[in-house]
Chains A and B, each alone.
Chain A
Amino acid sequence: MLLQQLVNGLVVGSVYALFAVGYTLVFGVLDILNLAHAAIFMIAAFATYALVAAGVPLWLAFLGGCLLAGLVGIALDRVAFAPLRRRNAGTLIPLISSIGVSIIIGAIARGIWGIDERHFPNALGDAPPIHLGAITVTTVELVTFGAALALMLGLSYVLRATALGRNIRAVAEDRVAAVLLGVDLEKTIAMTFFIASALGGAAGILTGLHYNSVTVDMGAGIELKGLAVIILGGMGSITGAVVGGFILGAVETLSVAYISSNWRDAIAFGVMFLILVLRPRGLFGKRALRAA
């Protein structure tokens, strides 16, 4: 049973991690919490569902969903954050602004798609599960895990080895110095939002596919968990978000397996509390992104 539970935890954790990576990227660069991240998670899943339902192949629909999420992210920055940034509004006002956008996106989605749960037609879930000894995995779980891992590795590469990545790290390190050195601030921020939102969107699409369920309020469950994961990992730390995501997935699963499902969330958050007591800045310090 332990092996199967670890597999369950890994798959769940990979989605938490992917969601949290985008969340923490924006924080690392701008020092703001983008609480509309969960709304983008949802809107990408719906867009992909709509494309698949219209006959678009799944892989293309997936890319379309991520692209839309990225563009919504840029629009979100333009509408909710950029005007406040120009006025030096601090960090709390953008937080409220992002909650507002999140509510608006939710209302629009509800207007277009209603409140019914949607299911992907002929989703990957139809493929028979694969049995490997004591473990059972489905194609959709393998795809979810693989895609989440590939996207996170891709992000790590972009941040480490490309001009864009250098610009993003420079802005995260010191916005004024980056501008003085010739970094286009607004463009870099827009690209940060694009990447962060596309990754959050990908997490939404994978969640929708994994459970074959897309609903307007599907972001509600992951919003708080994502926040917990990035605090656990260390605000702004990409590595921390990834490790934190897998820790949360594993702790949740194992607490059900070996203690009790009644206590799942209490145990998961209790463990995070303990880690934070021991390491108040999270597992990977406060500014790890800048050293990435």
Chain B
Amino acid sequence: MRTFLSIAAIAALALTTPAFAAGKGPAAGKTVKAGVIADVTGGAGVYGTPQKNAYELANDDIKSGLIDAGGANLSFEVQDAASDGNQVATLMQKFTTDGSAVVLGPTLSGEAKKADPIAVKANFPVLGTSTTADGITSLGSCVYRVSLSEAQVIPTTIKKTLKSWKYKTAAIIYGDDNAFTKTNGDIFKEQLDKAGVQIVDTETFHQKDVDFQAQLTKINDKKPDLIVIGALAPEGVKIIAQARKLGYTGHLMGGNGLNSPTIYNDAGPGAAGTAVGAAWFIGANYTGNKAFVERYKKRFGGDPDQFAAQAYAGAQVIAAVVKNGATTPAEICSGLKALPLAKTVLGPIGFDGNRDVKSAPVILQIVKGGFAYFK
């Protein structure tokens, strides 16, 4: 009886940890530390916290074998940059000299522009998971990102929404003091121009603003068919709510920054229908995505957002590279270059010649209590 039980236990163990059992690669048994720079506190804490959560989950999943790192002892050490550019630089310095093999992060594009050159100088690989502004990967020959850039997402968003909404005029409101939202605004403008849509007004705001009524009153006066929002979620929520409050009834559209549960939870019923061009859909059927969402919810008590999903995908990419035998900074750099498609929660992803991620954007639409594919 006892023998039977132990056989059953071993079998059960084998069944619950199939990847680990199957994942003895060339790096098996080796310890690989990946440094993560995330803004867990401070102004960008709303983005850095889900990232930190995702890496904690990834650390567990590597141990349990759900993420296959080829038997290597891979772990992600998250350090809080506190939304402080100088601290980001200090942490980058630390990770490039403390035996880490790769750095994931930092959270914001502006921070990456400041800190990535430190890694580039040290021939150290960096994998951005939430940097979407122009000119990030061109900082160095080993700066990669799993985050789809705005330049990759926005053209598809406009193409798809234009087909269905047939708008002729648009107004743009974007944050002009943040690399991400500025890029957002610039690319929307360029692509709308290209599509022959007349831009009737362009307004700007600053990060942390809460009152957008002056800008929106001006926009509303010109009655555009569409308002394009180049914002991150906290400002985006208020822009949507205040536009509707002022009586705007046209279409609303945004980029990656609006792909957050905050948008459908807090922007009010007027948010329904808003189109969001994004890199990830919480309901996507990709391998492991549903399980990731479920486990994240169970552990952290809320839906993961795109920041969490992309961070988790970053961990999956590094695990895939380590599985192939890369354990040093130089090996990870060439491993990323040679990586065929990796299976992640964002879908199968690889990198193009510019080290930007190759994956398809998803165009979503806010429905009651969540997102759905844009129709």
Binding site for B on A (CB under 8 A): 1, 4-5, 8-9, 12, 110, 115-117, 119, 125, 129, 131, 136, 138, 207, 211-213, 215, 217-218, 220-221, 252-254, 256-257, 260-262, 264-265
Contact = CB atoms under 8 A, between A and B. Distances in A.
Contacts, number: 76
A261 B214 CA distance: 9
Contact residues of A: prevailing secondary structure = helix
B217 A261 contact: no
A261 B239 CA distance: 14
B214 A257 contact: yes
Top-3 shortest CB links A-B: A115-B45, A256-B214, A211-B210
A136 B210 contact: no
B184 to A, nearest CB: 15
Interface in B208-243: 208-211, 213-215, 217-218, 221, 234, 237-238, 241
B203 interface: yes
Given A1-B221, A5-B217, A213-B234, A261 B46 contact: no
A211 B41 CA distance: 22
Contacts of B213: 8, 253
Contact of B247 (A136, A256, A265): A136
Interface in B8-44: 41-43
Which of A8, A218, A221, A252 has the most B CB atoms < 10 Å from its CB?
A8
A116 B268 CA distance: 18
B95 to A, nearest CB: 23
B247 to A, nearest CB: 6
B238 A211 contact: yes
B210 A221 contact: yes
B214 A221 contact: no
B41 A110 contact: yes
A262 B208 CA distance: 15
B49 A115 contact: yes
A221 B203 contact: no
A117 B218 CA distance: 27
B239 to A, nearest CB: 11
Interface in B177-212: 203-206, 208-211
B208 A136 contact: no
A187 B198 CA distance: 64
B294 interface: no
A256 B43 contact: no
B245 A207 contact: no
Given A5-B217, A115-B45, A119-B266, A136 B246 contact: yes
Contact of B206 (A1, A215, A257, A265): A265
A218 B234 CA distance: 12
Contacts of B41: 110, 115
B234 A117 contact: yes
Contact of B203 (A1, A136, A261): A261
B238 A129 contact: no
B245 A257 contact: no
Nearest to A118: B266
A136 B43 CA distance: 32
Contacts of B217: 1, 4-5, 8, 257
A128 B367 CA distance: 21
A268 to B, nearest CB: 11
Contacts of B111: none
B205 A261 contact: yes
Contacts of A254: 214
B262 interface: yes
23 contacts: A1-B217, A1-B218, A4-B217, A5-B218, A12-B211, A110-B41, A115-B42, A116-B46, A117-B46, A117-B234, A117-B262, A125-B241, A211-B210, A211-B211, A213-B210, A213-B237, A213-B238, A215-B234, A254-B214, A256-B203, A256-B215, A256-B218, A257-B214
A164 to B, nearest CB: 34
A138 B246 CA distance: 9
